[in-house]
């Protein structure tokens, strides 16, 4: 992480990969579909804020992900479909 890079940039990049890999929805539609506010989700995806565990669990349950995949980038234990996203 560089001084100019947001603190949670790597998590945000994984969130964007999940969104783009599982849909063609823009951020606002994706956020609404999952019960998140658009500005809140935008901050998570940009890496400005870290996605809370409860919100990450929504994505895990729906897409066969693990918290380790979202937070740490560890891909063991995720679905085959999810592996293709990353």
Domain ranges of the chain: 9-85
pLDDT of residue 84: 85
**Domain 9-85: which topology?**
434 Repressor (Amino-terminal Domain) (1.10.260)
pLDDT of residue 80: 83
Q: What are phi and psi of 56, to 5 degrees?
A: -65, -35
pLDDT of residue 1: 54
Q: What tokens were used for 6? A: 């947001």
Per-position pLDDT tens, the chain of length 86: 556 778 999 999 999 999 999 999 999 999 999 999 999 999 999 999 999 999 999 999 999 999 999 999 999 888 888 888 88
């Amino acid at each position: 992480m560089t001084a100019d890079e947001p603190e949670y940039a790597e998590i945000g990049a994984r969130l964007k990969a999940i969104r783009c890999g599982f849909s063609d929805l823009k951020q606002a539609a994706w956020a609404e579909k999952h019960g998140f506010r658009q500005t809140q989700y935008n901050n998570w995806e940009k890496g400005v804020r870290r996605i809370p565990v409860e919100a990450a669990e929504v994505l895990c349950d729906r897409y066969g992900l693990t918290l380790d995949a979202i937070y740490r980038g560890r891909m063991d234990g995720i679905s085959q479909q999810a592996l293709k996203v990353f």
